Amino acid sequence: MDVHGGKGIIMGPNNYLGRNWQGAPIFITVEGANILSRNLMIFGQGAIRCHPFVLKEMALAGREDKQQALIEFDSLLLKHIGFAVSNAASTFILNLGFGHFERAPGNGLSQGYFRALNRQAAAFAMLADLSMMLLGGELKRRERLSARLGDVLSHMYLASAALKRYHDLGSPDHMSPLFRWAMEESLGHSERAMDEILSNFPNRILGGVLRAVVFPFGRRHKGPSDRLDAEVAQVLGRAKGDPTLEELLAGCYRPQSADDPVGALQQAIDLLSAAYPLHKKLQVAIKSGQVKPDAGEPVIDPALRIGVLQADEAQTLRTAEAARRKVIDVDDFDKEELTLAAGKIR
């Protein structure tokens, strides 16, 4: 919508974004604009369900045979303590840089991200255990803390999905800009959420100690760089048939007819790309003073008159310009079309 501007605001048959934009609030209000999901459910429920010991410990607390339950609980508790200590040690060792020597699948690019995700997973497990231990049932009422823990978990899932996809495709070089962007985006958000957790940890002294464990050298992932953003944006401007673009658009609705708004957009891109060398040629002639159009006169006409452009080149530019105007122009209607009359449906 930011790029389309008025094209996405003025409703009409050629506005292919407006209805989706209007529907956006509907998509996110199932759980109260997703606030309930983020603040309470993702971590508040997920941490208990997914934890290797907590759910079993809670179940033992309600068992009728208290003696047997106590024996099993002691065994589980020892394993739980070992799990927590192991996570804390792993987090510190991995973040000191020793994780660089651990084995990881994939090629040189994906191996680094496998290790980064492993570091974050260990840190998350440690923070989750300590948060539940210190806050207990209060954790659900500390919604901002619970939400940030949910953010870490969510972005680790997204990072793992990107890793799996890239690995399953055979780690192709042409997909590396998209892969790096996805990983830096997710790992950056995950690290920022952990940073905010530590800054707002209930026990400030413990929060400071944990920061030294999780970020001994500061944050490593701060989101995609401007250069990486530009690499990904450049992919979107490539011609049809490009392997990276085709992989990105696989499964998308891609009509080819110029009568369809999306098809007209694709046709405009193709025509403008083909006319780009002629456009540059015309700009050079204008800048040098060779072509001097009169006020309000299309620059193609004087260029054609003095021979800077041939007839077929001028037609190519006109066709491209017409296609460009078609996708930029918004829908407009006569007053009569908008007037509600008897027997007429608006």
For residues 115 and 32, give the distance between their C-alpha atoms in angstroms, rounded to a whole number.
36
Return the minimum-mean-pLDDT range out of 53-57, 185-189, 198-202, 341-345. 341-345
Closest CA to 236 of 255, 223, 249, 225: 249
Provide, rounded to the nearest whole percent, the portion of the chain with pLDDT above 90: 27
What are the catalytic residues?
31
Per-residue confidence band for 33, with pLDDT thresholds at 50, 70 and 90: low
Q: End of a domain among 219, 236, 253?
A: 236
Same domain for 190 and 287?
no
Residues 220 and 270 in one domain: no
In a domain, residue 190? The reply is: yes
What is d(CA 221, CA 214) in angstroms, rounded to the nearest whole number? 13
CA dist., res. 192 & res. 196, Å (int): 6
**Shared domain check, 298 and 174:** no
* Residues 321, 275 within the same domain: yes
Are residue 230 and residue 274 in the same domain, yes or no? no
- In whole angstroms, give the CA distance from residue 97 to residue 91: 10
Determine the Cα angle at 256 with ends 251 and 257, to 5°: 140
Number of domains in the chain: 2
pLDDT band with cut points at 50, 70 and 90 for residue 32? low
Residues 79 and 114 in one domain: yes
SS3 100: helix
- Among 155-159, 170-174, 198-202, 244-248, which range has the highest average pLDDT? 155-159
In a domain, 14, yes or no: no
CA distance 206 to 197: 12
Kindly state whether residue 312 falls inside one of the protein's structural domains: yes
Report whether pLDDT(30) > 70: no
299 falls within a domain: yes
**Based on the domain organization, do 36 and 93 belong to the same domain?**
yes
337 located within any domain: no
Closest C-alpha to 46, from 126, 128, 168: 128
Q: Which of 203, 221, 236 is the last residue of a domain?
A: 236
214 shares a domain with 106: yes
Digit-coded pLDDT (tens) for 181-192: 999 999 999 999
Q: Is residue 7 part of a domain?
A: no
CA distance 318 to 326: 12
286 & 193 share domain: no
Same domain? 316 vs 230: no
Could you tell me if residue 102 is inside a domain? Answer: yes
- Residue closest to 91 by CA, chosen among 223, 212, 195, 189: 212
pLDDT score at 346:
56
pTM score, whole prediction: 0.78
Q: Which domain holds residue 229?
A: 31-236
Is the domain of 82 the same as that of 181? yes
| Inter-residue contact 118 to 102 (CB < 8 Å) | yes
| Domain limit, last residue, from 236, 252, 286 | 236
- For position 324, what pLDDT does the model report? 92
Lookup: tokens for 262: 């999306």
Q: What is the dihedral of CA 105, 109, 115, 116, to 10 degrees?
A: -150
Instruction: Give the pLDDT band (50/70/90) at residue 31.
Output: low
Report if residue 224 sits inside a domain.
yes
pLDDT in tens, 282-323: 999 999 988 888 887 888 988 988 888 999 999 999 999 999
